[in-house]
Amino acid sequence: MMTMMMVMKNKYGLPKSILCVVILLSSCVGLGFAQSSPIRFVDRSGKTLAQAEIVERNGALYLPVRTLREAFDPGMRQQYSSLTKRLTLNLKEKQLRLRIGSLEVSVDSDEMKLSLSHTPLIVEENLMLPLEFFTDLLPQIYDFKVTHNPVIQTIHITEGTAPLPDLSTPTTTAGSAKFLVVIDPGHGGADTGSRGSTRVAEKDIVLDLAKQIETVAQQQQIDVLLTRDADLERRPKERIDIAQKNFGKLFLSLHCNASFSDRAAGIHLYVSNSLGISQLNRLPMNRDDISRDGATIQALFQEEFLLQSRQFAIMLQAELEPLSPAPISLTEIPVATLAAVYMPAVLIEIGYLSNEIDEARLTDPDHLTSLATEIVQAIQAYIAEANQIEDAANGR
C-alpha cells in the first residue's frame, strides 16, 4: 500500500491524505457499496437450518436463491434464462416465477400474483432475492411463520400446520404417568415484586401471563398447574410442595426484571447451577436422608436435571427470540427459587419494569398472549422430545 501511494504521488502530485480518499472511494465503487454479514435460519427448537451471507444493495438486504433449498426445501429446483431474465422456482409443490429487475411474483401459472418492494438481482453472478421474499412473501404462499430478528441476525421458521404431537397420556397411576407442567407466577399478596413507572406490579403481570399460558396449554391438551391462581402470597416451600406433591415434570417460574439503569431491557432466562456453592464434605446416600432445611444440599437436587433444564431453556430462547428487543440471555447460576425443585426447571424474567418500552409491552394484553403462545410451543417441543427419549429407553 505504501509503495503504491508513493508511485501515485509521483505520478499525480497528490498529497498522501487525498490519495487515501481516492483509494477508499475506488474500493467502494468496486464493491458497489455492498456489505455482507452472516444470518442464520433456525427452526422452532433453535436448530440451525441454514446460514448465508446477507448482502446490502441499493438500500435493501439480499440473500442467495440457494438459501431456499437449504432452509425450506432440499428438493427445490430452479431454472434461469439469461435471455428473458426469468427465474422459475419449483418450491414445495408450487411454482414461483420471478424476473430479474421486476417486482412481480407469479405463483402456479398466474393463479396468484404477489409483489415485492425490491427486485431480484444478480450480484457477482449469484441470483439474489430480497430479504422480504423470505420473511413476507413466503408466509403468504405457504403456511409458514417466519420472523426476522435483526438484532441477533436470525430468521425463525415454524410450519404453521405442523401436526401437534399426541401429548395425552394415561392417568390411571396417581399422576405419575401424566406430564404435568407447573407454572409458578412469582410474588403475590403483600409481596408485590417490582413496580414500573405506572405503578403496575410484577405480581399482577406474571399472574396474567400464567393464566394465559394455562389457557393456551389446555387448547393443546397440555396439563398445567399454577402454584397460585389468585393474588395470594406463597412461600417458596409452598410452591415447591405444590409441584412435588402433584408429580410435576417441568417447572417454569415467571418474573419481571428491574434495574437501576433504564436502558436494561429484554428477556432473561435462568437455570440453577450450584457450581461454585460450597458443598458438604459428606453427601447423604439417599434422598430420604436429606433435610428439607438443608438449602445447600437441596441445590444438588436441581443439579440432577441440569441437562434437561438447559435444553428447555434453549427451546424457550428459540421460541421467544422474535418477541425480545435484545438477544435473550441464558444464565446458569445458583437460583434459590429453583434450587430445591426436583424436576427440570427454568426461571424467566419476561422484561424490565424499569424500562419504559418493556413496561409498555408487559402491560399490553396482546404481547402477553404472544408470550404465552411461544412459551407453550417451547413446552410442547420439550414434551415431544422427552416422550421420544422415554420411548427409546423403553424400546418402543
Q: Is 149 exposed, middle or buried (0-12, 13-18, 19+ CB in 10 A)?
A: buried
Give the strand pairing for 154-159 and 36-42.
parallel
* CB 372 within 8 Å of CB 215: yes
Q: Tell me the per-residue pLDDT of 215-271, one tens digit each, with 9 for 90 and over.
A: 999 999 999 999 999 999 899 999 999 999 999 999 999 999 999 888 899 999 999
Which of 138-152, 265-279, 313-327 is most confident?
313-327
* The three grid cell numbers given for residue 155, joined into one nine-digit string: 430468521
For residue range 303-329, list pLDDT tens digits in order.
Answer: 788 999 999 999 999 999 989 888 899
Q: What is the pLDDT of residue 88?
A: 94
Per-residue pLDDT, averaged over 88-116, amounts to 90
Averaged pLDDT, 344-359: 95
Pick the CATH number of 180-276+291-393 from 3.40.630.40, 1.20.59.10, 3.20.20.100, 3.30.1360.180: 3.40.630.40
- Rounded-to-5 percentages of helix, strand, coil across the chain: 35, 30, 35
pTM score, two decimals?
0.56
Between CA 270 and CA 290 the distance in angstroms is 25
pLDDT at 388 over 50: yes
Cell of 353: 419494569
Model pLDDT, residue 274: 76
Mean pLDDT of the region 174-186? 78
In sequence order, what are the residues at sequence separation of 6 or more whose Cβ sits closer than 8 angstroms to the Cβ of residue 26? none
pLDDT band at 301 (very low <50, low <70, confident <90, very high): low
Q: What is the Cα–Cα distance from 157 to 93, expressed in whole angstroms?
A: 18
Distance CA(142)–CA(76), nearest Å, equals 14
* Strands of the 126-130 sheet, one edge to the other: 121-123, 126-130, 60-64, 48-57, 36-42, 154-159, 144-149
**Does the pLDDT value for residue 87 go beyond 60?**
yes
Strands (E), the chain: 36-42, 48-57, 60-64, 77-81, 86-91, 94-99, 104-107, 112-115, 121-123, 126-130, 144-149, 154-159, 180-185, 223-226, 248-257, 268-272, 329-333, 345-352
Higher pLDDT, 9 or 65: 65
The residues spanned by each domain of the chain are 36-159, 180-276+291-393
**Residue 366 pLDDT exceeds 70:** yes
Condensed to tens digits (0 to 9), the pLDDT of residues 252-262 reads 999 999 998 88
Q: Kindly report the average pLDDT of the chain as a whole number.
A: 79
Tell me which fold the domain 36-159 belongs to. Answer: Copper Amine Oxidase; Chain A, domain 1 (3.30.457)
- For residue 40, give the nearest of 74, 73, 63 by alpha carbon: 63
Once rounded to an integer, what is the mean pLDDT over residues 180-192? 95
Residue 97 has pLDDT above 70, yes or no: yes
343 against 155, higher pLDDT: 343
Instruction: Please give the distance of CA 26 from its chain centroid, rounded to a whole number.
Output: 41
